[in-house]
Amino acid sequence: MKKGLSYFLIFLIISINACWSSFDNKKLENTDNNISEKSYYVDSNLGDDNNPGTESLPLKTIPELNLRLQKDPASVFFASGQVFEGPLNLRNISASSGSKILISSYGHGCALINGGNNEAVIIEDCNDLIIRNLNVSGSGRKEGNTSNGIALIRTSESTVENINTDGFQKSGLDLYNCSGIIVKNVYAFDNGFCGINIMGSEQNLSHNIHISYCRAENNPGDPTILDNHSGNGILVGVSDNVIVDHCSATNNGWDMPREGNGPVGIWTWQSNNVVIQHCVSYRNRTSRNGKDGGGFDLDGGVTNSIIQYCLSYENEGAGYGLFQYWGASKWADNIVRNCVSINDGLKTSGSGSVFLWNGSDDNKQLVNCEIFNNIFYSDSAPVLCFENSSAHENFNFHDNIFIGSGQLMNGKNSGSKFYSNRWWGMRNPDKYSHLEIMKLARFFQTLMRVQ
């Protein structure tokens, strides 16, 4: 019966992945009636930097394009299938009232901007931009690159969509002190620190950010960061009002060059009002002696945030981490609901499906969390773990299903209450009835339907 349950859950994983990965391209196509009429075309084969930059007489190189844009901001179209040496550099550029500046490809397919050892695209102090249908590549996180792929700095009311970004030592896409940004259908892979990184400062939080239909895969770690984590999938820090929706993260973090705190597939820290929903985070990893390597995480200083309708499975660390570190602002008023963890905590000792840790040792710093309507399943690690340092208050676990073999809970609970949960130990697997398995099926069907 235990094998039957495992096969059933695996089948549901495949079904959910198929459902979530069949993104509707129509959602990604916009009718742009407000694009700036002024434009430059760039063709590395047929262009000439003495040309006016029209489609029939295109420019040849990005350095010349950068000069033209500073003098006369306009939309830009790169010839598809060609490689252009970056970086594309836009500073203090805004569209005219009611219009957008589009940076894209023309022809069939996407152009590639090569960042080499530096950034491929730098957008600083700009607004009303659309960056679409481009590939950007760096020389590799260990082969000389030292930067981000696409960097947006103090930029607002802009969109980044249909982008592949790889080979950068830092992040494939990095947003810093930005607002009103839509990130859609970005594939970030083979980068170092992070696939997609959203970051703000205490003086200027990144805010009103929407990330959807993005994938962060095989971002192994930054070889130059020896004192902190690297190798994350999607990371939101020092931000407010951020949504991460229908995204996935896998096989990140396996080459973090240090021991200690590690990476997570999709997570947030020191942020308020972050919603992570309809996401899949699976088979993420950490270094040989590193910590973490989990699926999802509400980390230090997070408030008023939610993880919902998400699936975590076969991560080396916890499926869902609820963490507070020393020095962070108060962690409070968060929710984990309608989520699933299957066989997480494969490597990191004591992590399990849900893992609580409080490095501040102050129970007033980790308070008020509702964990309900979830399924936590493991045939090896405990499903619920409290770190030795996990002082917390007013955590309510209710209406969850806990399924595991051996010990279901590990560590000392100091501030959680449990009611209306189902606890299924697998030492006597014959006790699982067909009716109970069908309850799981209905839960997964609901999870897949609410999108």
How large a percentage of the chain has pLDDT more than 90?
79
Q: Are 230 and 192 in contact (CB under 8 A)?
A: yes
pLDDT tens readout for residues 149-182:
999 999 999 999 999 999 999 999 999 999 999 9
364-367's contacts with Cβ under 8 Å and 24+ in sequence apart are: 364/330, 364/393, 365/324, 365/328, 365/330, 365/331, 366/322, 366/324, 366/331, 366/332, 366/390, 366/391, 366/392, 366/393, 366/415, 367/330, 367/331, 367/332, 367/333, 367/392, 367/393, 367/394, 367/415
Residue range 128-145, pLDDT digits in tens? 999 999 999 999 999 999
The beta strand positions in 154-203, using DSSP E, are 156-166, 171-176, 179-189, 194-199
| pLDDT more than 70, % of the chain | 87
**pLDDT of 34 above 50:** yes
- Determine the structural domain holding residue 262 and report its residue range: 2-31+170-449
H runs (alpha helix) in 225-324: none
CB atoms within 10 A of CB 257: 17
| Residue 31, pLDDT above cutoff 50 | no
Residue 218 lies in a domain: yes
Of 65, 183, 164, 169, the C-alpha closest to 116 is 169
pLDDT digits (tens, 9 = 90+) for 91-114: 998 877 678 999 999 999 999 999
372: in domain: yes
Helix (H) / strand (E) element for 408: namely: none
At residue 9, does pLDDT exceed 70? no
Please tell me the number of Cα atoms within 13 Å of 381 on its side-chain side.
28
Q: What DSSP string describes 220-253?
A: ---TT--SS---EEEEEESEEEEEEES-EEES--
Q: What pLDDT sits at residue 404?
A: 87
Whether 442 is covered by a domain: the verdict is: yes
CATH number for the domain spanning 362: value is 2.160.20
Judged by average pLDDT, the poorest of 8-17, 25-34, 60-69, 415-424 is: 25-34
Q: Is residue 370 part of a domain?
A: yes
Q: What is the mean pLDDT of residues 406-420?
A: 92
Question: Does residue 285 surpass a pLDDT of 70?
Answer: yes
Q: Check pLDDT > 50 for residue 326.
A: yes
CB atoms within 10 A of CB 113: 25
> Which pLDDT band, with edges at 50, 70 and 90, does 184 fall under?
very high
Distances from the Cα of 80 to the Cα of 104, 109, 166, 275, angstroms:
9, 5, 18, 36
| Within-domain flag for 325 | yes
Give the pairing type, strands 171-176 and 194-199.
Answer: parallel
Q: At residue 329, does pLDDT exceed 60?
A: yes
Cα separation, 330 vs 336, in Å, equals 18
**Sequence-distant (≥ 6) Cβ neighbours of residue 427 within 8 angstroms:** 405, 406
Provide the whole-model pTM: 0.91
Q: Is residue 336 part of a domain?
A: yes
Name the pLDDT band for 348 (thresholds 50, 70, 90).
Answer: confident
Return the H-helix or E-strand segment holding 401: strand 401-404
Residue-averaged pLDDT of the chain: 89
Q: Is residue 223 part of a domain?
A: yes
CB 141 within 8 A of CB 191: yes
- On whether residue 285 sits in a domain, the answer given is yes
Domain count, the chain: 1
Distances (CA, A) of 237 to 124, 206, 248, 336: 19, 8, 18, 19
pLDDT(25) > 90: no
Among 79, 149, 129, which residue's Cα sits nearest to residue 109? Answer: 79
